[in-house]
Every structure is written in structure tokens, then in C-alpha cells.
Amino acid sequence: MNEPCKQHYVAGDDRRTAIAAATRTLIAEHGFEGLRMREIAERIGINIATLHYHVPSKAALVELLAQSLRDEFMAQHAANPRDALSPRQLLALEIDEFEQTVLTNPGLHIVYRELMNRAARDETVRTIISPLSQFWHNQITRILEAGRADGSFRADLDPQAGASIVIGSLIQYSRECHNKEVDFAPLRAELLRCVSTPGDPRPDERKTA
């Protein structure tokens, strides 16, 4: 019972971090539809008025969530050097990072999926979360464009459609492996094979630690 009380003395930025963390946990447990502001406040030991001071509206809460997801994805991205990697290695790394997150922090992608589902029928959520999704799609698209240009990916590959296939496959696979251990290797191999130039012998292995 003492731990929540300590939260009352947390600085502003740390309190917002605590709000984001509690919100993500509750969404992972109950889904976005089951999210209640009062329960968020109770999780971190503050009253509802203090919570509304930091996140005065649903839009502010979703924006804080999107920021926390973006920060975590970007931190993972920055942790793995990319400068010397070929397009095939870059695509393999993107898949490996996704797998690593699903296995070590499954709640992150559960929350992302929940927000994307909500965005389909909630303009406020869609306006805030769409740039995060678009950033990921653009990132994969650029990798596929570079691979098509250097000949390692198929000359007839449509990079934007290919990015949608990669992202959609990863998200669907993460749904299927929820709460159980799944080997991403077959999916990884198929995604690389479907975009690569037939018979290209260049290596694509670049597993993350």
C-alpha cells in the first residue's frame, strides 16, 4: 500500500511516464474499450483531478500513449546500427526487432493493435496514431525501394504494397502467437523470399541480440 503513495511526489515528466505505463498495462489487460480514467489514477496512486491535470482529455491520453510507443520503438531502432547494412539485411533486422519486441515486451504491440483498431472508428485516435503507423510503413517502403534499386529485390516489386504485406504479416503473426512461444523464422524466411530476386545468393542474416 505504500508504493502508490510515493507516486504523489513524482515530478511532472515522470508522472506522465507513469500514466502512460499504467494506461498501456490496462489496455493490454482489458482492451481500449475497457479503459477507465479512474482506474488509471488508482494504478499510480493519484486522484482523478491530478490525472486530468496531466491528460485533460481522451485526445491528450491517446497522444501521450502514441508518444510513449514512438519513443520505445525509436529507442529500439537506435540500439541497432544500420549504416553498413544492405537492404536485405535492413529488412531482416526490421523483422528481428519486431520479433524481439513481441517476445520481450508483448504488451507494446498489443497496445499498438488496440489503438489501430480503435482508430478505424474514432477520428481522434486516428489523427494521433496514424503518423506512427505511417512512419513505420514509410521506413519499410524505403528499404524495399533501395533493394529494388540495387537488384537484391525483385525489379517488379511495388515498394508500398510490399511494405503493407510485410507489416500486415508481422501484425497478424503477433496476434496468432499471443500468450505462446512462436518461432518467427519461417515467416522471416518467407517475407525475405517473396521480395528477393530469385536466385540471389547474397546473405540476409542479421539477427539482433
Residue among 64, 11, 69, 75 nearest 40 (CA): 64
Say if residue 154 is in the same domain as residue 130: yes
Residue range 2-13, pLDDT digits in tens = 333 333 434 557
Say if residue 191 is in the same domain as residue 102: yes
Say if residue 94 is in the same domain as residue 3: no
Q: 5 lies in which domain range? A: 1-56
Q: At what angle do helices 87-104 and 106-119 cross, to 10 degrees?
A: 100
- Alpha-carbon distance of 168 to 197, in angstroms, equals 21
Say if residue 157 is in the same domain as residue 181: yes
Residue range 100-150, pLDDT digits in tens = 888 888 788 888 888 888 888 888 888 888 888 898 999 999 999 999 999
Say if residue 47 is in the same domain as residue 73: no
pTM (predicted TM-score): 0.77
Task: Quickly state the pLDDT bin for 69 (edges 50, 70, 90).
Answer: confident
61 is a domain residue: no
Q: Which three cell numbers stand for residue 137?
A: 510503413
Number of domains present in the structure of the chain: 2
Helical spans, DSSP H, in the chain:
2-6, 12-30, 37-44, 48-54, 58-79, 87-104, 106-119, 123-150, 159-176, 185-195
Residue 143, domain CATH: 1.10.357.10
Say if residue 92 is in the same domain as residue 184: yes
Residue 51, domain CATH: 1.10.10
- Look at residue 9 in the predicted model and tell me its pLDDT: 38
